[in-house]
Amino acid sequence: MKNIVTTSFEYARKSSAVESKGAGEKAQNGFLHTAGKALSNRATLPIAIMLLIFMINAWINPRIASYRGIDMLYSSAIPLVLIALGQMFLVISGGIDMGNGIAVGLTNILFAFVVAENPIMGTLGLALFVIAYGALGALIYVKRMPAIVVTLGASYIWRGIGLIIAPNPGGAEVPFIRAIFGFNCPLIPTPIVMAIVAGFVCWWIVKRSKYGMIICGSGNNPTAISRAGWSQMVAMIVTYMLAGGMLVLAGMAMNDISKGGDINSTSTYQMLSIATIILGGCEFTGGIASPVGIVAAAMAISSISTLLTMLNVDSNMQSAVTGLILIAALAMKLVSTVRRGKKA
């Protein structure tokens, strides 16, 4: 009887040890799985770069970590956030926009010169702009023309219209735009709130809405979309109109920053938007994007100029240094993409 009791306690002790060891290994494996999943997420690298640049900025000038400092640091990032998200819609549908920089300049001019003086005519002009962007999508689909050619050609049209409306820089900030961008959100600076809202809305469109699946499918597997009964041409039109709508919002943000309008002041956004979506996790194969990563990448890229200014880098050298930083960041992104592909 004694042996039976002793054996029972010994078995229970060993079982408890095995269970504890199994639970520990399971928890450890669960942590490693979660950590690995987080590191492989497309948004991880751009978020890390954004935080790194912010911390360096704050280390050099601690006042940047304040409410006012964050507001000033990222206020100029909103146009790039919106332009890059618009570019994202086109890239995941298999296209690209090589004229979005000039297009934002046009929408800015429409706000500064037309909406400011005649809101009805200005609103009509902006609506026509969005419709024209949808027409670009129809043209690309019907004529099977490369998106890079059509959008680049359209940029000359946007520039011409902008020069007709405003041959010289000028205009004014629209009062309701001043009210929107001048509002101070409690606790969280307004630019951060705007970036989060823009990223969330685009994330919902791409990842959760039914039409987001169609947009992604039209770039990744257009045959399947057609077989499912969806019109690929309608998908192209809607996608380009979404991109046009984002450019209108970006024009609002530029109107707040410049307090006027200039067709030539936004041309650099064309290449910056491409660098942003690549760093943010977009793939030119179509159908793959990370709106959260794109927002983080846009805010990181926009804050580089502030960092270079505080480091006393000559203004003539800032473009070159910014380019080198972007190349390094994109190289890191390429390495992570290759690793992700090997694991797959």
pLDDT in tens, the chain (344 residues): 444 444 444 544 544 454 445 555 544 555 444 555 555 687 898 999 999 999 999 999 999 999 999 999 999 999 999 999 999 999 998 889 999 999 999 999 999 999 999 999 999 999 999 999 999 999 999 988 999 999 999 999 999 999 999 999 999 999 999 999 988 888 899 999 999 999 999 999 998 888 788 888 777 777 777 777 788 888 899 999 999 999 999 999 999 999 999 998 898 898 889 889 988 888 877 777 889 999 999 999 999 888 888 888 776 777 777 778 778 777 776 666 666 555 55
- Are 103 and 241 contacting, i.e. CB atoms less than 8 angstroms apart? no
pLDDT of residue 38: 55
pLDDT of residue 336: 63
d(CA 319, CA 301): 12
pLDDT of residue 284: 78
The second-level CATH assignment, the architecture, of 43-335 is Orthogonal Bundle (1.10)
3-state per-residue secondary structure call for 100-152:
HHHHHHHHHHHHHHHHCCCHHHHHHHHHHHHHHHHHHHHHHHHHCCCHHHHHH
What's the DSSP call for residue 312? T
Using DSSP, state whether 261 is helix, strand or coil: strand
pLDDT of residue 224: 73
Regarding pTM above 0.95, the answer is: no
